[in-house]
Chain A
């Protein structure tokens, strides 16, 4: 009876994951969808604790389990509640790494059970061993990779690449596969040693895998690692014959992989290109892209900028990571309202990979109550730039770099960009002339129609707002 009840709970859990993800794909039902999936997860966890049986044996160690759950819940909630909107992407990466580590630890424990439990090691179940090793490798790669991605996004870890790194990566991966195959087929005496060699190699692989990839491509990497963890969770499902783990894991694995590909498409690149390209970490391409980018730029005073914008018919705001860092979304909304009060039409042009994650800008602007309909996606925005009087770029750089269209030597060549140079005036707010995340210069800043407004986005917008109001 009880075990059948658990089967029902798992079934409901699996369905809530599917329905939840589906609801998440629609803005109107998204929040409810998240709660539905969370509810299913809660039921599945409680059901497992109290109803799970293996060969008539119930689970024990309740104090341990509940203590761990309590610690995880408190810490997780605090972290998730405290994190700033700008740090959201790295938070996702961090949580993803936790899931990967969890999957890897399960494999370690199960392997030890297998090793000590079997009187005749050579008679071990090959399938079980394969699944354990698979869950271990994928989980560990996901863990260390996510940690590196997390460190990179919050600036603790810099891009780092050395010659032949990709070859070393391939060798590590190949070595892992060979050792795993050796363990499964030969079952040597030193299996436990080899097992921990795999642990070390997998962690190393995750590090080397993410390190050379530039910050601008981090969203793609996080999405990919997200689907990795899904597959690692599914390995656990296979191991225990647990359907809810299997459905949840594979669902995320498949959806995450597709999401990764969609993100790459938004940048007009293949996944392989992102992973091998060493974007931003590659010094040679940086130098190559610097050719022809020079000359002088001009600064604009606050009052001039305010005048130009106040007497424009149409202003297009291009938000980027700089806006997120400065937490300037509220001031930005204020400026939008002040300009509209003067009869200026204000819209936002959203590049799909502006910020550090797709949709990053949407989330940010939604936080400041910016009307949904004011946000234009790239294709629509590009049609409107030629009718736009002033484009105000707030901390965006690579997504408006014309080199993506004109310079085949540029590492971002081929990426669709916001064609802001079509507009009459371009005002760029940046903290300095430093290149953006891809590490390349931007010719846009040196064009005659472009003027620079240096300073922190929040400060600059506050001053600009005051000037606009005083006109």
Chain B
């Protein structure tokens, strides 16, 4: 029990963020008209590409003789970039069409 309390206390900032973001995420989606579901899914898909920041950190910290980290990190950064760039561009393409008819 003590251990759990200590753990919560040590990571409280993170835990707060997690819970607040869960509610924010639900609130935002709750009001989306169904016509926007596809672009929205695509937009959210691009946003979780933020995982690329982790990949950049891993890559940037890898030492020169650590080939495994370098190679895997390199691949991770490429994949993360694909997720981010591809995600935003696809979303933009979808939304561009919505705008034209106005």
Contacts and interface: CB of A to CB of B under 8 A. Distances in A.
B30 to A, nearest CB: 7
Contacts of A222: 41
A62 B60 CA distance: 7
A77 B89 contact: yes
Please indicate which of the listed interface residues B68, B76, B86 has the most CB atoms of chain A within 10 Å of its own CB.
B86
B85 A76 contact: yes
Nearest to B69: A109
A256 B44 contact: yes
Nearest to B98: A366
B32 interface: yes
A176 B99 CA distance: 46
Interface string B64-102: 100011101111111111111111111111111111110
A28 B95 CA distance: 10
Interface in B20-39: 21-26, 28-39
Given A65-B56, A105-B75, A246-B18, A98 B80 contact: yes
A45 B68 contact: no
Contact of B47 (A21, A83, A266, A367): A21
Contacts of A102: 49, 51-52, 54-55, 76-77, 79-80, 83
A406 to B, nearest CB: 25
Contact of B43 (A20, A61, A112, A223): A20
Contacts of B75: 68, 105
Contacts of A243: 17
Interface in A185-207: none
Contact of B50 (A69, A245, A262): A245
Given A21-B28, A38-B88, A60 B60 contact: yes
Nearest to B73: A109
Contacts of A62: 60
A71 B81 contact: yes
Please indicate which of the listed interface residues B11, B68, B78, B92 has the most CB atoms of chain A within 10 Å of its own CB.
B78
Contact of A72 (B11, B51, B85): B85
A79 interface: yes
A115 to B, nearest CB: 11
Interface in A71-103: 71-73, 75-77, 79-81, 83, 88-89, 91-92, 94-96, 98-99, 101-103
Contacts of A54: 57, 61
Contact of A251 (B21, B60, B77, B94): B21
A276 B48 CA distance: 27
A135 to B, nearest CB: 9
Contact of B77 (A44, A60, A68): A68
Contacts of B52: 45, 102
Nearest to B101: A369
Nearest to A369: B101
Nearest to B99: A31
Given A103-B54, A259-B37, A25 B31 contact: yes
B24 A18 contact: yes
B100 to A, nearest CB: 6
Interface stretch (A155-163, A226-234, A290-298, A417-425): A226-234
B89 A61 contact: no
Contacts of B42: 88, 92
Contact of A245 (B43, B53, B101): B53
Interface string A90-132: 0110111011011101101110110000000000000100000
Nearest to B32: A25
Please indicate which of the listed interface residues A35, A109, A229, A230 has the most CB atoms of chain B within 10 Å of its own CB.
A109
Contacts of A371: 101
B35 A359 contact: yes
B54 A242 contact: yes
A254 interface: yes
B25 A250 contact: yes
A25 B38 CA distance: 11
Contacts of A249: 48, 50-51
Contact of A99 (B49, B57, B90): B49
Nearest to A10: B53
Given A106-B54, A236-B51, 20 more contacts: A18-B28, A37-B88, A48-B56, A49-B60, A54-B57, A72-B82, A72-B85, A77-B89, A95-B49, A98-B79, A99-B48, A99-B80, A109-B69, A109-B73, A127-B7, A230-B47, A251-B25, A358-B37, A359-B35, A359-B36
Give the top 3 A-B pairs by smallest Cβ distance, nearest first.
A72-B81, A59-B60, A254-B25
23 contacts: A21-B28, A21-B40, A24-B36, A34-B88, A45-B56, A60-B61, A68-B78, A68-B81, A72-B77, A76-B84, A99-B51, A102-B55, A102-B76, A106-B76, A109-B76, A127-B7, A234-B18, A255-B44, A256-B44, A258-B29, A259-B40, A358-B38, A362-B38
